Structures are given as C-alpha cells and as structure tokens.
Amino acid sequence: GAVVSQHPSWVICKSGTSVKIECRSLDFQATTMFWYRQFPKQSLMLMATSNEGSKATYEQGVEKDKFLINHASLTLSTLTVTSAHPEDSSFYICSAIPGTSRRETQYFGPGTRLLVL
Amino acid sequence: AQSVAQPEDQVNVAEGNPLTVKCTYSVSGNPYLFWYVQYPNRGLQFLLKYITGDNLVKGSYGFEAEFNKSQTSFHLKKPSALVSDSALYFCAVSLYYGNNRLAFGKGNQVVVIP
C-alpha cells in the first residue's frame, strides 16, 4: 500500500516550452502533496505544498508563476514548469500523505528527470 | 529553527559488518523523526519513523533506529550490512509548524564493500 506514481519518469524539452509532471497517489487519498527538487548528490529542496481544492503554498524563493501547481483531486497533483530553461533541469520528486497529522509518513514518487536543452 | 544534521558525507562499511548512519536533530517540542533511503535515479523509500513510545524503532529491510532524547540523536543502524544497502540515506524531522512539511538532512552516501 501507499504507492505514489509520477509521470513521466523523464522528459527532454526545448528551452521555452512548458512541461507538466503528474503525481498520483494510487491506493490512498491525499489532501496534501509536496513537490521537491533535487540536484545531483544533494538533499531534497521543498518547492511547494499542494493542497487539494486550494492554492499551493510555495517556499521562499520559488517562483509561483514559474512552477504552477494544481491539485484538482484527492489523488492527483500536477507541476507545470512554464517556459523552461536549462537551469530548470533537475530531478523533481513528489510526495503524498494519507492524512493531516504531523505523524503521517510522506510517501514519495519515483521522481521525474527533466532536461531542458 | 528546526533541522536535522547528518555529519558524515559518506559511510563505508564492509559487507557483514554493522552499519550506522548518524543523525542529530534540533526541534521545538516533540520530534517526529523519519529515515528514508534513495537508490540512484529513484524517489525516496520510507524505512522507519519515531513518533512516541519505545526508543528503539524497527523498520524495513532489517534497519532500526534509536531515539536518544538527551543526545538529540536518531541514528540508523543495521546489524549486518549487505552490498544492496549501498544507497543515499536521509534523516528528516516533521516541522512543528508548517503543515506536515519535513526538513531533510543533507543525506549520507553508504557504500558497502563486498
């Protein structure tokens, strides 16, 4: 149980295009999902908290117009990287929690590798 | 500010030997602590967590961790390391304020030598 999927697993795009990444909780409902960015051999950087039915909460320094987040259902959150540039190339990982308590375990997706040419 | 520290960049251990990955924390209130493992080009897999109760927590794949309040530590341990345990290990603490957000340590690369 507690499986989170991401699609696509990797994507290559041209500079200036937009890329959408999907995060799905497969066997539980998640009112809250998180989006992280990870650079090679580094820790995860939390980008934003995605809340079902409301606006996402972005971490300081993360451009909300650049990284659009939509959490339209209890099992799906999407991250759209708009007008992508080479510096947006990274490993993007989502996570989801099955409840609202601070005790809840975050379950992570397998990640999406984005390469912007 | 709440945070976790993983002091070592890399831990090398011979196969069959005990494995320890260190983590210390700094939080307000009661800490909720987690360990995750990441294999190359993959997301994080949950290993174990400490919420309350016994200080020794047992998790997946034979891993365990000991919560030590006086030393503010939550070290990850495995009695006998396997080559397949070679991966990146992250300690994390649930932030007291902030909507279930986690603060992650920088991660420790574990290399198990055959």
CA atoms within 13 A on the CB side of B13: 22
- Between CA A93 and CA A97, with CA A18 as vertex, the angle to 5 degrees is 25
- Return d(Cα B16, Cα B83) in angstroms, integer: 9
Give the torsion sign (CA, A59, B50, A31, A39): positive
Lowest mean pLDDT of A79-88, A92-101, B30-39, B85-94, name the range.
Answer: A92-101
Residue type, A108: F
pLDDT of residue A105: 87
Nearest to B94, CA basis, from B44, B34, B40: B34
pLDDT for B107 equals 93
Dist. CA B36–CA A93, nearest whole Å:
14
All residues of chain B having their beta carbon less than 8 Å from the beta carbon of residue A110 are 42-43
> One-letter amino acid identity for A48?
A
CB contact under 8 A, A43 and B46: no
Tokens 């503010």 identify what position?
A: B72
Residues belonging to chain B: 114
Q: Which residue of B has its CA nearest to A35?
A: B101
> Residue A16 above 70 pLDDT?
yes
Q: How far apart are CA A30 and CA A78, in angstroms?
A: 13
* Interface residue ranges in chain B relative to chain A, Cβ cutoff 8 Å: 32, 34, 36, 41-46, 49, 51, 88, 90, 94-96, 99-102, 104-107, 109
pLDDT per position as a tens digit, B56-73: 999 999 999 999 999 999
* Å between B30 CA and nearest CA of chain A: 11
